[in-house]
Chains A and B, each alone.
Chain A
C-alpha cells in the first residue's frame, strides 16, 4: 500500500541514513553530502511510490550506491562487487532501515567501556587527537594505541550486534 509523501518528508525521513550509508561505502563527509543531495534529486524527480520506510530506504541506498559508483569510476577506485555486497550485507544486518537504532545500541555499549578503552575512544573521537597525542596521554606507544582502538571497536561491534539481535527477538 502506497502513501503520498512530500519530497520534504522523504528527505527528512531518510537523509541521515543515506548519508551514513554513503559514508560506509567510503565517502568522506563532503562527498557524502554531495551524493546524498544527488540521490534525493534523482529519486524525487522520478515517479515514485512510497511503500514504507524499509522499501524506500533500500531504493534510496541503491540509487546512492549507483551515484557513488559513477563518482569513483573515473578515479579507478571502483569497489569490487564483493566489497559492495559486503557493505550492503553489513548495512542490512546492522542498520536496516533505521540507523538511529544502531546508534542507540552503541550508546548502551559505550556505557560499558571503562579504563583505557574508554579514554582512548574519547581522545580519538571526541577530542580528535592524533594517535601520537593519544599515546602520550595514555603513556603508551602509538602502535599500542592503534591496537587498543582496534580491539575496542571490535568489542563495541560485537556488543552492538548482540544488542541488535536481542532487540530483534
Chain B
C-alpha cells in the first residue's frame, strides 16, 4: 500500500469511528439545500446574506460563500456578480470563539490533519490578526503544511542521508516560527529531571565556563564567537545546553576533556537551528511563547512535533548528555545531542574486524524424561546490550550474534526483594501469559544479590591491565577508559590498592602498587597513559596476575581489570592457553573483569569467554554514562562477588507443562549432572546484582506441533514428578500419551509429586566467594498463571526486553512480537526509571524499528 493510500485508508477508519463511536454523523442538509434552491430562484440578490444563513457555518470561508451565491444565482438568471464584503463575514466569529478554535487547531495538528488546521488558523487570523497566539497558529500551520507537502523529498533526503540541509535552511521559515523540539511534554519532563539534579547541588552550574570550555575544545574555529556557524546556548530554566553546529562541517563525534569529565558533542549532520524562544506553560500547545526562558524551541530544521517519531525511525536519537563540570559526579548540566549519520555505510558492521560467536537459540524441550530438567549457570554480563546500543545509535542493526538475550534482560535493574538472613541472594519466580504467543506462558526466575553498603565493602586490590596499543587511540577507547578509571578511583579508600599494567608500548608496569587514596598520584599515572603504535605484549597478563597475587588481600576483593578493544596480545597468544591461564588464576581467588571499548575491532566472544572463565564479568563501555553505571553505581556488583559458581536447575512437572524453552543463556547451559558437581565452574553474582532468567512454557493440553518435543530421552534419572516405565500400557498417564503422530515415546509414569499442583521445582547451588563447597537451596512454584497485563511491572518490562532481543536476533520463536508491541509494553512498564535507562530502551526500540524498515 502506498503512503497516500495508507493515509486515506487510516483516515477512513478514523472518520468511521468518529461517526459510529463518536456520533459525528453527517448533517441532514436536505432542507437547507432545497431552501437555497427556492430562495435563489425567487430572490437572486444579496447572495452574501443568503449564504450566511443557509450555511451551517463559516462566513470566513469567502470562496465558498461566493460560489454558493454563484450557483444559486445561476439557477435563476445564469448571470450574477458577487459583491461580497469579507469583513461582514468575519464578524460572525468573535474573540470569544478563539479558545475553541485554538483547541480545535491543536486537535487537528495532533491528528496530522494539517489542511483543516490551516483553515482554522486562517479563520482565527480574521478574528484577531495581531494576536500573538493567532500569529503562532498560522506559522505552525504553514510549517506543518510545508513539512507535509515536502515529506517525500524530505524522506528521500533522509534515505540518501543528506538530511535537510541547505534546502531547509533556505526555506522561508525562521526563528519567528519556532517549533518545540522534541515536544513540550518532553521538555517539561526534562525540566523536572534537571530540577531534581539542581536540588542535589547543581544549581550553581557555571554555564559560561562550560560553554567556553566546549567552544575552545571542540572545533574551536567553528563557533559564532570567531565568525563560525556554530552556536551554543544555555537554558538555565532546565539546566540544559543546546548546541547548534553546521552539518557541512561533517564533524565527527567529538570528545573533549577538561581533566575531570568527558563530553561528546555530535550534532554534526543535523543543522539544528535552535532558537532561544521559550515556551510559556500557560499557552496552548501550539499557541505561542513568552519571554521566560523555560525551554528552547527549534525552528526551521525540518523537525516538528509530529515528525519526531519519523526522525527517530530514521536513525536519530535525541540524546541528553550529563555534563559534570565540577567532576563531583553530579551533573551540572546536560548537552542536548542529536546523532545523525549522513552515510549509513559508515556504521555498518560488515567489513569491520568485530567478531561474534554464533548463538544457536535454545529450542523447546519436552517435559519428559531427562529433558524435563533444565540446568544452567547464572550470567550477570551486560556487554551485549551496551554494544548493540552503540550499533543502533550509529544507525545499523546489530549482527544477530551480537545479541545475547540474557545480557539484554540483565542490563536493567529490577526491584526484587533482597535476601533475608545469611543467604547471599534471594530467589523468586513469577508466571504469567507470554506476550508474543498467547497460547504459551512466561516464567521468570529472579535472583537478587545482597546489597553491601560502600562503607562495608572489603578492601580492594585492583590491577588494571590496559591495552594501550595503537588501535586504542580513538576518542571512545583510551580517553574514555582513562575517564572511567578516574571515576572508579574516586570510589576507592586508603586500604585499597591499585596497580596499572599496560600491555603494549615499552613498559609493562605503568604504576606500581599504590594506595587507593593517593588520588593525585593515581590521576597522574592515568594522565600519562597514551596509546602507542608499537606492541610488546610480553609483560602483559603474567605481570598483572603476579602483582595481584603479591598484593593479595585476604577476605578482600582481588581483581585484574582487563580493558581492551579486542587486541588480546597480552603475552599468551593461543586462546585456549589464555583461557586456561585465567581459569587457573581464578582458582587462586584472583578474579578477572573485562571492560570492552570501541568499535570495529571488538572481539566480543573472546572477551566474554575470558570473563566467564576468570570468575568475572564483562561490560562494554560505550560512553561515560555506562562507565558510571558499571564502575560507580554498580561498583559492588562489578567488584564484590557475594557468591560464585551459582547454578540453577529447574525440574518441570509434566502434569502441568508440556514443553519449555530457556530464553537466552545459550552459552551457560550445563549438563544436569554438573549441577551437583562442585568442580564445575559457573557464574558469579555480585553485591546487589539482579539476575533474571525467562522461560517460555507450553502448558499441558496444548495441541500445538512443536518439532522435537515428542522424542523421549533414553536416560532414566530419578525425577520428582515422573518415572519412565518399560512398556507403553495404560499406566502411561502422560498428558501427551497417544497423541496421533507422536514418535512412540517411552511411556512416562507420573509420581505422586506430580499431583501436587506444582509447576516446577527450582534448585540453586552456590559457593561463598572463597569457599569450595556448594550450598543447595530449593523452591517450588504453584502452577498458577495470570494474564500478562496482571504481571508485575518488572516482569512486563523484562518480557519486552527479551522480545526486543529476539526480534533483533530474527528468532524463530519471536511469535507475534513486533517492535510496536515491545514499545507499547515497555512504555507502559517504565516505572520509576530514575536513571532513564528504560526510557532509553524505548528510544532504541524505535530506532531499531526504523532501521528494520529500510
Contacts and interface: CB of A to CB of B under 8 A. Distances in A.
A90 B8 CA distance: 7
B57 A30 contact: yes
Contacts of A165: none
A44 B551 CA distance: 101
Given A40-B33, A41-B68, A160-B13, A140 B8 contact: no
Contacts of B110: 130-131
B57 A153 contact: no
B5 interface: yes
A71 B30 CA distance: 22
Interface string B113-126: 11110111010000
Contacts of B34: 7-8, 11
A58 to B, nearest CB: 17
A148 interface: yes
B119 A75 contact: yes
B7 interface: yes
B672 interface: no
A47 to B, nearest CB: 13
A41 B16 contact: no
A56 interface: no
Interface of A: 7-8, 11-12, 15-16, 19-20, 23-24, 26-38, 40-42, 44-45, 67, 70-72, 74-75, 77, 82-83, 85-87, 89-91, 94-95, 102-103, 106-107, 110, 115-116, 121-122, 124-126, 128, 130-132, 139-144, 147-148, 150-151, 153-154, 156-157, 160
A152 B506 CA distance: 64
A11 B5 contact: no
B37 A144 contact: no
B778 to A, nearest CB: 37
B56 interface: yes
B71 A103 contact: no
Nearest to A23: B15
B54 interface: yes
Given A8-B34, A139-B828, A141-B827, A153 B26 contact: no
Given A30-B57, A141-B828, A11 B9 contact: no
A12 B64 CA distance: 22
A128 B22 CA distance: 8
Contact of B58 (A11, A30, A106, A124): A30
B824 A147 contact: yes
Given A31-B119, A130-B110, 20 more contacts: A24-B8, A24-B15, A29-B27, A30-B57, A30-B58, A33-B57, A34-B58, A37-B54, A70-B67, A71-B63, A82-B4, A83-B7, A86-B8, A91-B12, A106-B20, A140-B828, A141-B828, A142-B185, A147-B827, A160-B16
Interface in B84-142: 107-108, 110, 113-116, 118-120, 122
Contact of A125 (B9, B21, B74, B149): B21
7 contacts: A8-B30, A31-B119, A33-B55, A41-B72, A77-B118, A125-B21, A131-B110
Interface string B314-325: 000000000000
Contact of B185 (A19, A41, A132): A132
A151 B33 contact: no
Contacts of B107: 130
B566 to A, nearest CB: 37
B182 to A, nearest CB: 11
B29 A24 contact: no
Ordered nearest first, which 4 A-B pairs have the shortest CB separation? A86-B4, A125-B21, A144-B827, A19-B26
A125 B18 contact: yes
Given A31-B61, A37-B29, A95 B12 contact: yes
A15 B26 CA distance: 8
B145 interface: yes
Interface of B: 2, 4-5, 7-30, 32-34, 36-37, 54-58, 61, 63-64, 67-68, 71-72, 74-75, 107-108, 110, 113-116, 118-120, 122, 145, 149, 185, 309, 789, 820, 823-824, 827-828, 830
Interface centre among A29, A41, A94 (most CB of B within 10 A): A41
Given A11-B29, A94-B12, A42 B4 contact: no
Contacts of B27: 19, 29, 33, 36
How would you classify the secondary structure of chain B's contact residues: helix, strand, loop or mixed? helix
Contact of B17 (A42, A106, A131): A106
A89 to B, nearest CB: 6
Contacts of B21: 110, 121-122, 125-126
A48 to B, nearest CB: 13
Nearest to B17: A125
Contact of A33 (B29, B72, B820): B29
B507 to A, nearest CB: 53
A29 B197 CA distance: 48
Given A19-B26, A115-B789, A37 B68 contact: yes
Given A72-B115, A110-B21, A41 B71 contact: yes
Contacts of B120: 28
A129 B185 CA distance: 17
B9 A90 contact: yes
Contacts of A74: 63
A45 B64 contact: no
A106 B13 contact: yes
Contact of B30 (A12, A31, A42): A12
A87 B8 contact: yes
A160 to B, nearest CB: 7
A119 B54 CA distance: 39
A81 to B, nearest CB: 10
B820 A153 contact: no
A95 B12 CA distance: 9
A20 B15 contact: yes
Given A31-B119, A75-B122, A15 B8 contact: no
B30 A11 contact: yes
Given A26-B113, A71-B63, A87-B8, A147 B820 contact: yes
Contacts of B114: 77
Contact of B116 (A8, A31, A42): A31
A104 to B, nearest CB: 9
Contacts of A140: 824, 827-828
B64 A71 contact: yes
Contacts of B67: 38, 67, 70
B64 A34 contact: yes
B424 to A, nearest CB: 36
A121 B830 CA distance: 23
B823 A15 contact: no
A151 B820 contact: yes
Nearest to B22: A125
Given A144-B828, A147-B820, A37 B36 contact: yes
A144 B846 CA distance: 12
